[in-house]
Amino acid sequence: MKKIIYGVLLLLVLALAACAGESTSNEDAKPEETKSTDSSKSAEKETEKPTEKSVIMKIGSTDKEHVAMGKAMYKFKEIVEAETNGSITVEVFPDSQLGGERDIIEGVQLGTIQGGPIGAAVMSNFSPRFNLWSLPFTFPTREDSHRILDGPLGQEVLADLDDIGMIGLNFWESGIRNLTNNDGEIKSPDDLANLKIRTLENQIQLDVWTELGAIPTPIAFPELFTSLQQGIVDGQENPFSVIAEANMYEVQKYVTETQHLIGVNPFIVNKKWFEDLTEDQQAAIRKATDEAQAFQREEKAIEDAKYKDLLIEKGMTITTLSPEERQVWADKIIPVYDKHKKEIGEDLVNRLLEEAKK
């Protein structure tokens, strides 16, 4: 009997040992399985590409949406959103919706506005070397202006914006400025004697028209039409598009194609905002700015020809200067270059004049 009991107990011990071994084996297997799963998940994380953050880009200008500058801003929007697959949404505010040019510049500095094409004359209040582009009769042709602005000299001036919280991406064009008046045909500076000419509120422009023999009179643009109508000023200077859009043909009879100044608009963006973008987003912004620039310049040339024809249709007399006649005007204002060389940079002004001769 005892042998039978011992035999049963032995069997029970062996059975319990087998169960314990199986349990241990199963428990050992679980960490291996978990380890394998965790390793797989880790590998997935390593290969997963970070997603680009979605951002809003507000851009503004004082130009109307149907002119070349406005059209180019919408072209910029189209390209950016396509190139970034919508990770950047561009909101366009033309026609001074965000304020005047000074307001837009200050907004870009603060980061409440992300960018836009702004006139160099106003930009010079924030970065003095932009006054280089306010010197008249420096660009013989529109094509020369593009060559110089897109070259080393233009890029050097744009680089100044880094120090004041902005990045200058490139230059757009606001048009070639010409002189209008209601007194008579003007062909030489002598014909300007004692004529009151409305000018930009810029010291270089005031000095230029004084040197040419006129009486420069700064007037805010919204008041210009009434001032011409009432004879407060005899004339003014602007691109054909501005002259036509403001209906100046109703109060001005004569246009002289002095082509004394080509309006330059650097396209600026907030530096911190731009640097926080991914490299792909930055590349998309640069590509869009360059393609919109080419589009805008082409549209501006077409626009100038169209508006010139319109002014003729409206009864304005247009006088075209020969290269020799235009040179007389350019020679007359050389003292202005000399006066402002120090503040702009003598080397910079000399290089511009040399580049213009090439």
pLDDT in tens, 247-302: 999 999 999 999 999 999 999 999 999 999 999 999 999 999 999 999 999 999 99
What DSSP element (H or E) covers 19? helix 2-47
Average pLDDT over residues 100-119: 96
Comparing 22-31, 107-116, 270-279, 309-318, the range with the smallest average pLDDT is 22-31
Mean pLDDT value of segment 314-332: 95
- Strand residue runs (E) in 73-219: 88-93, 115-117, 166-181, 196-199, 215-218
DSSP state at residue 113: S
- pLDDT for the residue numbered 191: 97
What pLDDT sits at residue 75? 98
Which percentage of the chain shows pLDDT scores above 70? 86
The reported pLDDT for the residue numbered 2 is: 41
Q: What is the pLDDT of residue 204?
A: 92
Tell me how far apart the alpha carbons of residues 98 and 118 are, in angstroms, rounded to a whole number.
12
DSSP 8-state symbol, 62 = S
Give CA–CA dist 138/190, Å, rounded.
Answer: 21
Q: Tell me the residue type at 244.
A: A
Rounded Cα distance, 327 and 92, in Å: 41
Task: Report the candidate in 107, 112, 122 with the shortest Cα–Cα distance to residue 221.
Answer: 122
| Averaged pLDDT for residues 73-85 | 98
Q: What is the DSSP string of 231-257?
A: TSSSEEEE-HHHHHHTTGGGT--EEEE
Domains detected in the chain? 55-357 (3.40.190.170)
CA angle 332, 337, 338 (to 5 degrees): 105
User: CB–CB of 178/248 below 8 Å?
Assistant: no
Helix axes 152-159, 346-357, angle to 10 degrees: 150
Q: Which of 180, 117, 176 is nearest to 141 (CA)?
A: 176
Q: At residue 127, does pLDDT exceed 90?
A: yes
pLDDT of residue 43: 45
Q: Where are the beta strands (DSSP E) in the chain?
A: 55-60, 88-93, 115-117, 166-181, 196-199, 215-218, 235-238, 254-270, 317-320
pLDDT(1) > 90: no
**Is pTM, for the whole model, over 0.75?**
yes
| ∠ CA 57-61-62, rounded to 5° | 155
Lowest mean pLDDT, pick from 11-20, 66-75, 175-184, 216-225:
11-20
Give residue-wise pLDDT tens across range 5-48.
Answer: 444 343 443 343 444 444 443 433 444 444 444 544 444 444 44
| pLDDT confidence tier of residue 51, bands split at 50, 70 and 90 | low
pLDDT at residue number 53: 81
Confidence at 200, pLDDT banded by 50, 70, 90: confident
> How far is the CA of 19 from the CAs of 9, 158, 288, in angstroms?
15, 81, 72
**All residues at 6 or more sequence positions from 270 whose CB lies less than 8 Å from its CB, including other chains:** 108, 109, 111, 113, 114, 115, 165, 166, 167
